[in-house]
Amino acid sequence: MTVYFHEEDLPADVLRPGAVAVDTETMGLITPRDRLCVVQISDGSGDEHLVRFNPGSDYAAPNLKAVLADPDRVKLYHFARFDLAAIQHYLGVVAAPVYCTKTASRLVRTYTDRHGLKELVRELLGAELSKVQQSSDWGGPVLSEAQRDYAASDVRYLHALKAELDVRLAREGRTALAQACFEFLPHRAALDLAGWPEVDIFAHV
């Protein structure tokens, strides 16, 4: 297992075919204000790739964009709504088709309100994640080894989580419902970017 660090783009042909796990690190939670700093990506083979964007970046990243926009590659996220919005706003691509482990968890783990990645990995895979670096400064000139390992861990387990969650979705008869939710998530992210982040436009009032 190796964590590879890249500046401004992903090298060509470093990922094997198939689904990729994707996550982002930003300067905060307000997408237009808080710039995209890092995109993490893994093909599930055991290695993770971190692509760091510097202040003033033009976010050209043709190789990374090609992977994210590839309609034949499923992108695995945990809380896809946020990452999709950040990628669309800064990289200009819709990183779909989508599978969101947080959405899947909410559909099948109805016995709990704990759907964070740390809780999912602990329960379904028996591993422990550290979230110490979650609120650190991702825009600094140097990313520490602790930050790099944290960023990598956010994509390290998503393929295995998908396999476990798929079994539960099938068991509870909610696979089709989950797929419908996944297909809507890029539109939910677009609504966030367009100015409806906290409004349920389907609500009666």
The predicted-structure confidence for 78-89, as pLDDT tens digits, reads as follows 999 999 999 999
Count, in order, helices (H) and strands (E) of the chain.
7, 6
Number of domains present in the structure of the chain: 1
Structure tokens given for 204: 């009666």
Whether 27 is covered by a domain: the verdict is yes
Q: Is residue 63 exposed (0-12), middle (13-18) or buried (19+ Cβ within 10 Å)? A: middle
Cβ neighbours for 103, distance < 8 A, ≥ 6 positions apart: 80, 178, 181, 182, 185
Q: Residue 51 sits in a domain of what CATH number?
A: 3.30.420.10
User: What's the domain range around 81?
Assistant: 3-194
For the entire predicted model, the pTM comes to: 0.95
Alpha-carbon span 190 to 35, nearest angstrom: 17
Given a cut of 70, whether residue 133 has pLDDT beyond it is no
Whether 203 is covered by a domain: the verdict is no
Whether 205 is covered by a domain: the verdict is no
What does pLDDT average to over the chain? Answer: 96
Strands 20-26 and 36-42: antiparallel
Whether 202 is covered by a domain: the verdict is no
Q: Which of 190, 188, 143, 187 is nearest to 39 (CA)?
A: 143
3-class DSSP state for residue 181? helix
First to last CA, the chain: 51
Give the pLDDT score at 112.
97
Whether 68 is covered by a domain: the verdict is yes
Whether 200 is covered by a domain: the verdict is no
Whether 138 is covered by a domain: the verdict is yes
Residue-wise pLDDT tens digits, 137-192: 999 999 999 999 999 999 999 999 999 999 999 999 999 999 999 999 999 999 99
The sign of the torsion formed by the CA atoms of 195, 205, 98, 78 equals positive
Q: Which of 83, 40, 78 is nearest to 162 (CA)?
A: 78
Given a cut of 90, whether residue 130 has pLDDT beyond it is no
Whether 160 is covered by a domain: the verdict is yes
CB 83 within 8 A of CB 77: yes
